[in-house]
Structure 1
Amino acid sequence: MLQPNGPYYSIPLGRRDSINFATIEETLANLPPPFFNTTQLLNAFAAKNLSPVDLVALSGGHTIGRAQCTSFTDRLYPTQDPTMDKSFAKNLTLTCPTANTDNTTNLDVLSPNSFDNKYYIDLINRQGLFTSDQDLYTDSRTKSIVKQFACDQSVFFERFVEGMIKMGQLGVLTGTEGEIRANCSVRNSNNNVELGSIVEEHHHDEVLLSQY
């Protein structure tokens, strides 16, 4: 059961959503794959005007969730990634006996059901699941940030919130582009639904990250 102990933060209302659904190709083009190294990650985030601190903080979202074996078994087969803890790797081979196994495992070995900073302790212990996780501690450009977040959960929460708000401001639609949805999970049945007063009032919703 997910523990509600993640950061609370306020987000501005009124962001317009596209009236067209993103394609699989568009989605994957904007999601760094698990085999990316830190250089590739830094470049991908810089292209979105996100900093190395944003990269490490937002990667901390892997403190919850699960991953399919095929997203990381390249680190186990045919040879083990030397940056991976041997005991951790041995346990993973029990869950993923072959490279193409459909099984899943937790992203965070220490506290998989809690939104906290244990993900960074996993990295220090060489128990990061993806290459894109573990390389953050291996690479000198991001190692100190990982260590800081591992030592201070409150700083991680602060930087995570900053990164989430920054991402919420990417590619903002204005004017007549898109729509402000009455229900954020579905398109408006009538694209002319008037929700401008919500934007003008500048109200905010409270979000508890750990409940998602």
Structure 2
Amino acid sequence: SGGPNYKVALGRRDGLSYATEEAVLSFLPSPTSNVTALIDVFTELDLTTKDLVTLSGAHTIGIAHCSSFENRLFPTQDSTLDPIFAENLYLTCPVINISSTTVIDIRTPNTFDNKYYVDLLHREGLFTSDQGLYEDFRTKPFVIIFALCQHLFFENFVYSMTKMGQLSVLTGSQGEIRRNCSALNSNLSWYAVDGDGHDGKVF
């Protein structure tokens, strides 16, 4: 997709049970969040305002349902929306509670680049949480810098992603190092733990 390559540390321990949908969503800020709410969420995770703007750049790829941004269209149009951009959104989402989707980055939806930030400069950010980054004095400078310099965005994205990957690390005998990231080791038919508690493969 064109994004930066970087080394990912191996051996992180995962929990022995799956998180519930409710628990996962409780850690994810809403797309209708303002910048203050976003900064508060990231601060609780020991992530900075710069990390917030950097990691939001992941929205350079992806799609969104109308329900995640219809607050900017109904009952009245958000004044921070570019009028032409808004007209196109109304074509996709003419009424509330519709299940249609649209790309988040209208310029290069299938490429990982810095065009997400260019969108914000042109008032074409999809979510409240996106466009707010350009409207707020605490985050606006980072948006401008990343819009002007893709290399700087990539460099900071690698740093912030690596930093986020080191949050809440389990240690000692907590959790397990999974053989398959999406499944517990006990659920893998080819993998087992032998009698003395050591890992062993099933042949």
> Above 0.5 in TM-score?
yes
Question: 2: CA distance between counterparts of 1:102 and 1:135?
Answer: 24
* Structure 1 residue 14: Cα displacement: 0.4
Question: 1: CA distance between counterparts of 2:67 and 2:118?
Answer: 24
Query: Is 1:55 the counterpart of 2:52 in the alignment?
Result: yes
- In structure 2, the residue matched to 1:105 is 102
- Deviation string 1:56-110 (CA, Å, 9 cap, x unpaired) is 0000000000000000001001100000000000000000011111000000010
* Aligned mate of 1:172, from 164, 169, 172: 169
Superposition pairs for residues 57-206 of structure 1, below 5 Å?
A: 57-189=54-186, 190=192, 194=199
- In structure 2, the residue matched to 1:41 is 38
* Structure 1 residue 24: Cα displacement: 1.2
Question: 1: CA distance between counterparts of 2:198 and 2:149?
Answer: 45
* Structure 1 residue 127: Cα displacement: 0.3
* Structure 1 residue 182: Cα displacement: 1.3
Question: 1: CA distance between counterparts of 2:145 and 2:30?
Answer: 25
RMSD: 1.2
Percentage of identical aligned residues: 55
Question: 2: CA distance between counterparts of 1:7 and 1:180?
Answer: 26
Secondary structure of 1:67's partner? strand
* Structure 1 residue 194: Cα displacement: 3.4
Change (3 A) 1:104 1:174: same
* Structure 1 residue 5: Cα displacement: 1.1
Change (3 A) 1:69 1:50: same
Query: Is 1:25 the counterpart of 2:22 in the alignment?
Result: yes
Question: 2: CA distance between counterparts of 1:13 and 1:23?
Answer: 25
Question: 2: CA distance between counterparts of 1:96 and 1:137?
Answer: 24
One-letter amino acid matched to 1:138:
E
Using CA pairs under 8 Å that are at least 6 residues apart, name the structure with larger relative contact order, 1 or 2.
1
- Counting matched residue pairs gives 192
- Deviation string 1:155-199 (CA, Å, 9 cap, x unpaired) is 10111111111111111000110000112221102465639xxxx
Question: 2: CA distance between counterparts of 1:125 and 1:40?
Answer: 23
After the TM superposition, list the runs of 4 or more consecutive aligned residues in structure 1 that deviate by more than 6 angstroms: none
